[in-house]
Amino acid sequence: MIEKKGERVALYHVDLAARIGRSEALLLAQIDYWLERTHKFVAGDFWVYNTLPEWARQLGLSPSQVKVAAARLEKMGLIKRRRLNRTRYDRTFSYTICYAKLREMGFSAGRRAALWQEPGRGGDPWDKPGQAEFLA
């Protein structure tokens, strides 16, 4: 991999971008990236959150582009977004990917997508909901 200290890199699937849009594919790939690293497990799914400005910074987009991309992904059924915050003033959305819908389109992503679809399969102990809830 080509690297430069302090440089940000965003990767996305070009074929997916052709079908759903570049901004949407970038956001979906970034959500998938963070879902691989999260321990927040709520209502049967792993969730990640960031503010619009933080997503925008990570993706090299404007906050309004991220907001539109998230709305489009939700409308396509590729992501779910919810406010999982305990305080009313915190309006940060949490996101998860609907991997079943992604598979219907012929794509797959995330080790958790495979892990949760195959009962009895082993895997990373961090992927088990009991431990995820304990650490969240």
Please check whether residue 34 lies inside any domain of the structure: yes
User: Which CATH number covers residue 86?
Assistant: 1.10.10.10
Range of the domain at 119: 14-135
- pLDDT tens sequence across 36-77: 888 888 888 899 998 899 999 999 999 999 999 999 999 999
Instruction: With respect to residue 119, please indicate whether it lies within any of the assigned structural domains.
Output: yes
Q: Per the domain annotation, does 4 fall within a domain?
A: no
Query: What's the domain count of the chain?
Result: 1
Q: Is residue 79 part of a domain?
A: yes
User: Whole-model pTM?
Assistant: 0.75
Q: Name the packing angle between helices 52-59 and 22-35 (round to 10°).
A: 100
Structural domain includes residue 124: yes
| Residue 86 located in a structural domain | yes
In this structure, what token pair is assigned to residue 130?
A: 């009991």
Task: Read off the pLDDT of residues 106-122 as tens digits, 9 standing for 90 and up.
Answer: 887 665 544 444 444 44
Q: Give the C-alpha separation, 87 to 68, whole Å.
A: 25
Mind giving me the DSSP string for 43-76? TTEE-EE--HHHHHHHHT--HHHHHHHHHHHHHH
Position 6 in a domain = no
